[in-house]
């Protein structure tokens, strides 16, 4: 019988001293509770997931980019070749554009008087404050960028590539030092999906253009097939992993790729091979419904034979993601970007062929 304590290590850490790195802190002092789960996630990613042959999709929800985690964490992760595809809320992508436009996002406090903020033309995201004009300027940028795009259906990665290239031009023109998420994704050919595009200011500005008969429409079915095609191709050539930061529609959109392949298209597959999740939600109240690794197995989302290669960290993403990023920068090996956006037609064509032929996985 397997001994569950066979590989257990004694908890006997050395005292923390000055000068240590974030990775050393995680390895040396994170021994129990969610600190230990974060260490497990860091080590799983560095040693097994972010390696050649594993296609890694990341998801982000919540207001992470206005908190600065786009430029500080997501962009370096993409530039290291560790993000093959990304799923985000529209809010994260919209607020990402403020940085490219050199518009101010200020650190405030969560207990500010919102009536006074309204009177003074300020908007609050918990303890982040910005002038209302930041929104108006960004709205103008989005509309001016998209109004000349032919009125044709685009997938959200196609839409975001257009915005990313425009953001790069705007950033360079303003002398802003660091790239934003959409710009880095466009440069590195990382497809960026938004499963609920109407639930954001980017979607609202698209809607405003549609009233004038201008701008593109969005191809929702194209997004579903494109994301599933990425996973289908990944499983043919190697393995698939998902790293879920938060929850919401990005979480489910990334995980539903496998049910789309198996349940809807009728293709034989066995789920993602790795899953790392950072969340503060609970399954018993519905916040993680269908999305804990073990529950996801019942949906075909996670390979049941790889359940021990999944980790859930119950921790605030604004704390966990910087630590995770710092750890990977020290312990993981950089990869050549997979440039999956440039392969979009090839990938979707492969899925189309498989669905017509009723392909099965060997």
Q: Given this model, what pLDDT does residue 319 score?
A: 96
For residues 269 and 262, give the distance between their C-alpha atoms in angstroms, rounded to a whole number.
6
Q: Given this model, what pLDDT does residue 166 score?
A: 97
Residue 175 Rama label (left phi>0; alpha psi -120 to 50; beta): left
146 with 205: CB under 8 angstroms?
Answer: yes
User: For the residues of 231-253, what is the DSSP string, one character each?
Assistant: HHHHHHHSEEEEEEES-HHHHHH
pTM above 0.85, yes or no: yes
For residues 348 and 21, give the distance between their C-alpha atoms in angstroms, rounded to a whole number.
43
Q: What token pair was written down for 31? A: 């021994």
For residues 209 and 154, give the distance between their C-alpha atoms in angstroms, rounded to a whole number.
15
SS3 content of the chain, % helix, strand, coil (to 5): 50, 15, 35
C-alpha count within 13 angstroms, C-beta hemisphere, residue 94:
27
For residues 22 and 329, give the distance between their C-alpha atoms in angstroms, rounded to a whole number.
10
Q: Where are the domains of the chain?
A: 32-357
Say which residues have a Cβ less than 8 Å from residue 208's Cβ, sequence separation at least 6: 143
In Å, what is the CA distance from 349 to each residue of 114, 263, 352, 354, 355?
51, 19, 5, 9, 10
Q: Given this model, what pLDDT does residue 305 score?
A: 85
Alpha helix ranges (H) inside the chain: 22-29, 33-44, 69, 75-79, 90-100, 114-119, 132-146, 156-174, 181-188, 201-211, 220-237, 248-255, 257-259, 293-298, 317-331, 344-357
Q: Given this model, what pLDDT does residue 187 score?
A: 98
For residues 89 and 20, give the distance between their C-alpha atoms in angstroms, rounded to a whole number.
35
In Å, what is the CA distance from 293 to each residue of 174, 251, 266, 288, 337?
44, 12, 22, 10, 27
For residues 9 and 30, give the distance between their C-alpha atoms in angstroms, rounded to a whole number.
12
For residues 275 and 294, give the distance between their C-alpha atoms in angstroms, rounded to a whole number.
11
Q: Which of 99, 96, 94 is nearest to 65 (CA)?
A: 96
Cβ atoms within 10 Å, residue 238: 13
Q: Given this model, what pLDDT does residue 362 score?
A: 43
Q: What token pair was written down for 257? A: 């790729």
Residue 228 Rama label (left phi>0; alpha psi -120 to 50; beta): alpha
10 with 296: CB under 8 angstroms?
Answer: no
Active site residues: 301
CATH code of the domain made up of 32-357: 3.40.910.10
Per-residue pLDDT in tens (0 to 9) along the chain, 362 residues: 567 667 778 888 888 889 889 999 999 999 999 999 999 999 999 999 999 999 999 999 988 999 999 999 999 999 999 999 999 999 999 999 999 999 999 999 999 999 999 999 999 999 999 999 999 999 999 999 999 999 999 999 999 999 999 999 999 999 999 999 999 999 999 999 999 999 999 999 999 999 999 999 999 999 999 999 999 999 998 999 999 999 889 999 999 999 999 999 999 999 999 999 999 888 878 777 667 888 888 888 888 888 888 999 999 999 999 999 999 999 999 999 999 999 999 999 999 999 998 765 44
Q: Given this model, what pLDDT does residue 242 score?
A: 97
């Amino acid at each position: 019988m397997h001994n569950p304590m066979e590989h257990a290590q004694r908890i006997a850490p050395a005292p923390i001293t000055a000068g240590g790195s974030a990775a050393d802190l995680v390895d040396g002092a994170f021994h129990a509770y969610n600190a230990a789960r974060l260490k497990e996630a860091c080590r799983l990613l560095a040693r097994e997931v972010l390696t050649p042959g594993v296609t890694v999709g990341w998801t982000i929800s919540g207001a992470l980019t206005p908190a600065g985690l786009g430029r500080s964490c997501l962009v370096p992760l993409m530039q290291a070749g560790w993000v093959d595809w990304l799923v985000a809320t529209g809010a994260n992508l919209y607020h990402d554009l403020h940085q490219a436009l050199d518009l101010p996002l200020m650190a405030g406090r969560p207990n500010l008087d919102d009536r006074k903020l309204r009177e003074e033309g300020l908007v609050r995201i918990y303890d982040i404050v910005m002038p209302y004009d930041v929104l108006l300027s960004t709205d103008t940028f989005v509309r001016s960028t998209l109004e000349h795009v032919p009125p044709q259906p685009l997938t959200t990665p196609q839409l975001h590539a257009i915005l990313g290239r425009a953001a790069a031009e705007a950033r360079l023109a303003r002398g802003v030092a660091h790239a934003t998420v959409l710009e880095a994704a466009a440069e590195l050919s990382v497809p960026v999906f938004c499963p609920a595009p109407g639930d954001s200011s980017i979607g609202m500005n698209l809607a405003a253009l549609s009233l004038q008969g201008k701008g593109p429409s969005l191809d929702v079915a194209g997004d579903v097939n494109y994301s599933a095609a990425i996973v289908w191709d990944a499983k043919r050539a190697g393995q698939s992993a998902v790293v879920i930061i938060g929850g919401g529609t990005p979480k489910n959109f990334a995980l539903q790729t496998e049910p789309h392949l198996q349940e809807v298209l009728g293709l034989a597959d066995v789920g993602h091979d790795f899953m790392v999740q950072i969340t503060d939600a609970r399954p018993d109240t519905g916040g993680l419904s269908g999305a804990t690794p073990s529950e996801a197995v019942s949906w075909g989302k996670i390979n049941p034979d790889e359940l021990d290669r999944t980790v859930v960290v119950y921790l605030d993403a604004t704390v966990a993601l910087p630590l995770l990023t710092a750890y990977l920068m020290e312990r993981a090996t950089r990869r050549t970007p997979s440039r999956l956006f440039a392969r979009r037609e090839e990938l979707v064509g492969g899925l189309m062929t498989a669905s017509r032929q009723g392909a099965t996985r060997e």
